[in-house]
């Protein structure tokens, strides 16, 4: 189910990172998804600690079944989450640049 909020809280207090990076939808390489409840908890913990979240939603549009889950950006309202996506995985999945 992804990052554990109680451990994130400890890490934020102890190490005070400048940001956290997450792939809540179709995590690479596990393909796991973070539940909506967990997404809300992560957003709230980071908001309390004023730690920005970088959300990498590289495959969010590739869902073949089931309802899409809300992004952390949508849950947060865009105030503390930087949302990243891509179109290369949809248009040219085999193309490698660099």
pLDDT at 94 over 90: no
- Predicted confidence at residue 58, as pLDDT, reads 85
CA distance linking residue 78 with residue 91, whole number of Å: 27
Instruction: Using the structure block, give the residue that is written with the tokens 């590289």.
Output: 58
Compute the average pLDDT of residues 10-33.
92
CA distance linking residue 4 with residue 38, whole number of Å: 8
pLDDT in tens, 41-79: 999 999 999 999 999 998 777 777 888 899 999 999 989
Fold of 5-88: 3.40.640
Domain ranges across the chain: 5-88
Residues comprising the chain, all counted: 98
List for the chain the helix, strand, coil content (%; round to 5). Answer: 35, 10, 50
């Amino acid at each position: 189910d992804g990052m554990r909020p109680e451990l994130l809280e400890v890490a934020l207090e102890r190490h005070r990172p400048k940001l956290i990076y997450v792939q809540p939808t179709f995590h690479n390489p596990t393909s796991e998804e973070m539940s909506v409840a967990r997404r809300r908890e992560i957003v709230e913990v980071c908001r309390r600690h004023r730690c920005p979240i970088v959300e990498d939603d590289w495959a969010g549009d590739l869902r073949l079944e089931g309802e899409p889950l809300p992004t952390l950006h949508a849950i947060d309202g865009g105030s503390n989450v930087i949302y990243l996506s891509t179109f290369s995985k949809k248009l040219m999945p085999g193309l490698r640049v660099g």
